[in-house]
Amino acid sequence: MDSARIGKIMKAKQYAQEPERIQIHDLSLTFQGTHSTHKITFHDGQWQCDCDFFLRRGFCSHTMAIERVFDGMLVEPEEELEEVHSDVMAKVPA
């Protein structure tokens, strides 16, 4: 194995131990529930799941489980606006 590849593997291991580096803005996945597979999405800070419970109540065990898995990585809309504002302000000359 070449040294460049070894370096990248070591860096990947370091990154994997620092989940605070990750921000998820949009997500689409399938979740294997007890009785069937469900499609879950996260977009603009909003969850969607195709299960009957979510369609009636606006939340479900599938989305709550995924929220726990990705705890701290999901970008809420107001966080995203703050990031954009900070980026714009950093580019404005003083």
Kindly report, residue by residue over 45-79, the tens digit of the pLDDT.
Answer: 899 999 999 999 999 999 999 999 988 888 876 65
39: closest CA among 52, 48, 30, 47? 30
- Confidence category of residue 29, pLDDT binned at 50, 70, 90: very high
The pTM of the full predicted model, rounded to 2 decimals, is: 0.68
Residue 49 to residue 69: CA distance in whole angstroms: 16
Range with the lowest mean pLDDT among 11-15, 40-44, 52-56, 80-84?
A: 80-84
**Beta bridge mates, 76:** none
For residue 1, the 8-state DSSP code is: -
Model pLDDT, residue 88: 52
Q: Is the pLDDT of residue 2 over 70?
A: yes
Share of the chain above pLDDT 90, in %: 56
CB burial of 27-53 (b: ≥16 within 10 Å; e: otherwise) equals eeeebeeeeeebebebeeeebebbbee
